[in-house]
Amino acid sequence: MNLALSDEQEFLREAARGALSRYKTLEAARAALDRPSAPVTGLPDLWPTACEAGWPGLLIDEAKGGAGLDVFDAMLVLGECGRVLAGVGLLGHLPASAILNDSPAAAAWIGEVASGARRAAYLPAQPPSDVRDSWSADPAHGSAHAQLPSATPGDEQGMVTLNGSVAFVPDAPGASGMIGVALLDGRPVGVAVLSESPGVTVEPLVRYDATRSLGHVSFKDSPAVLLDAPEESLIAAWYIAQALIAAESLGSVETALQTTVAYAKERYTFGRAIGSYQAVKHSLTEVLRQLENGRSLLYYAGWARKGAPQEFALAASAARSVAGHALDTAARTMISVHGGIGATWEHDAPLYFRRAQLSRRLLGGTSGATDRVAGELLGQAQAA
């Protein structure tokens, strides 16, 4: 039994914190909000930093040019990104890289994905659940699940033709290619498509949080590589994305809590620091409680990926659910404890609030992950 970070993991995290501290990500995020048209301009390009640090290859085997690390290691890096609201491109890239790592068909070019020479974006595809038989994607509008793109056999061996669309794809604008799941004769298959291929359109979007790169992606008779990753890998990619956004969210919670606690110690009313009042103290301990629960679930998800793969769906979804709620709570508490100043444009609190608002609605949403937790447990209970 040992849940402590290894020396290598401590180093990975410290190195990430150091590398990201060279950029004024929060100032850039605020400035970008004044230029609301997509794609967002003026944010620092952090991809070269990511490549230098080896982050694009975190989940790719060493023999294929990657670092051969685990999802938990990737979560440590995402946590650091979340602390400073850094948009690096890893949320889209890493789940995509995990599918490629399990696809011998990608052997010829996986090295470029591992080095970061090619940046990939994951097309979010939600696996079937205890109450829904089919794969699905997030809708462009409303709350009904959307269909995955369809694939038909292509002219060449190992190629397919894609038609359809995927909404709100993280980190799609500017990515060299997209990797995800399509339905071939109703069967889920892994696909990889270059952004420059015919019929591929990426519509960049800004939704409330300028630090989050997003795009609607559509395919019209677009040629794509048919990947031979097994279905388990396609399923795992969804939960890797859940675990990563959970880790990123908790990183944001850490900063929000630190900043708010510091203010509660220095701001006085009626002759006392506001942090001495129970009402304020208890709301801050509530943020801490949710943060600590979320941290415990990051360990669960990180361990389950290899240690108990049959529990990874449950663990990653639970982490996402708790982390999403924690970020909501932390961002609202940050604003209210700061009083009126917390709701002003110049303050950092609104940036964390914007992050919370958008994050809870991406990648199936926080409530989608919560529903998945229930589904996994109800399934287990019925099987027992």
Interaction between residue 68 and another protein (CB under 8 A): no
Residue 278 Cβ vs another protein, minimum distance, rounded to whole Å: 7
- Residue from 63, 108, 144, 381 in contact with another protein (CB under 8 A): 381
- Residue from 140, 303, 336, 361 in contact with another protein (CB under 8 A): 303
Binding range to another protein, per CB under 8 A, among 79-87, 95-103, 227-235, 284-292 = 284-292
Interaction between residue 297 and another protein (CB under 8 A): yes
Strand partners, 214: 170, 205
Interaction between residue 208 and another protein (CB under 8 A): no
| Comparison of 201 and 258: residue with beta carbon closer to another protein | 258
| Comparison of 187 and 272: residue with beta carbon closer to another protein | 272
DSSP string, 264-322: HHH-EETTEEGGGSHHHHHHHHHHHHHHHHHHHHHHHHHHHHHH-GGGHHHHHHHHHHH
Contact characters 241-270, another protein, x per CB under 8 A: --------------------x--xx-----
Tokens 């849940």 appear where? 3
| Comparison of 13 and 207: residue with beta carbon closer to another protein | 13
Tokens of 209: 């949080």
Ramachandran class of 33: left when φ > 0, alpha when ψ lies in -120 to 50, beta otherwise:
alpha
Contact characters 94-133, another protein, x per CB under 8 A: ------------------------------------xx--
Do residues 170 and 363 touch, judged by C-beta distance below 8 A? yes
* Closest to 319 in 3D by CA, of 252, 246, 250: 246
Do residues 116 and 50 touch, judged by C-beta distance below 8 A? yes
Tokens of 145: 């699940």
| Comparison of 7 and 346: residue with beta carbon closer to another protein | 7
- Residue from 134, 293, 336, 357 in contact with another protein (CB under 8 A): 293
Is the alpha carbon torsion for 70, 76, 82, 87 positive or negative? negative
In angstroms, rounded to a whole number, what is the distance separating the alpha carbons of residues 248 and 88? Answer: 11
Do residues 175 and 119 touch, judged by C-beta distance below 8 A? yes
Q: Give the alpha-carbon dihedral of 71, 325, 41, 54, to 10 degrees.
A: -10
Residue type, 71: V
Interaction between residue 8 and another protein (CB under 8 A): no
- Strands 159-170 and 150-153 turn out to be antiparallel
In angstroms, rounded to a whole number, what is the distance separating the alpha carbons of residues 219 and 221? Answer: 6
Max CA distance (Å), the chain: 78
- Residue from 147, 163, 336, 370 in contact with another protein (CB under 8 A): 370
Contact characters 309-338, another protein, x per CB under 8 A: -----xx-xx--xx--x-------------
Residue 78 Cβ vs another protein, minimum distance, rounded to whole Å: 16
Interaction between residue 275 and another protein (CB under 8 A): yes
| Comparison of 219 and 352: residue with beta carbon closer to another protein | 352
| Comparison of 300 and 353: residue with beta carbon closer to another protein | 300
The answer to whether the bond into 39 is cis (omega within 30° of 0) is yes
Residue 262 Cβ vs another protein, minimum distance, rounded to whole Å: 9
- Residue from 41, 152, 285, 344 in contact with another protein (CB under 8 A): 285
Interaction between residue 295 and another protein (CB under 8 A): yes
- Residue from 150, 277, 361, 365 in contact with another protein (CB under 8 A): 277
| Comparison of 85 and 322: residue with beta carbon closer to another protein | 322
Is the alpha carbon torsion for 202, 207, 213, 214 positive or negative? negative
| Comparison of 187 and 265: residue with beta carbon closer to another protein | 265
Cα atoms found within 13 Å of the Cα of residue 219, Cβ hemisphere only: 29
Which residues form the interface with another protein (CB under 8 A)? 1-6, 72, 130-131, 261, 264-265, 272-273, 275-278, 280-282, 284-286, 288-289, 292-297, 299-300, 302-303, 307, 314-315, 317-318, 321-322, 325, 367, 369-375, 377-378, 380-382, 384
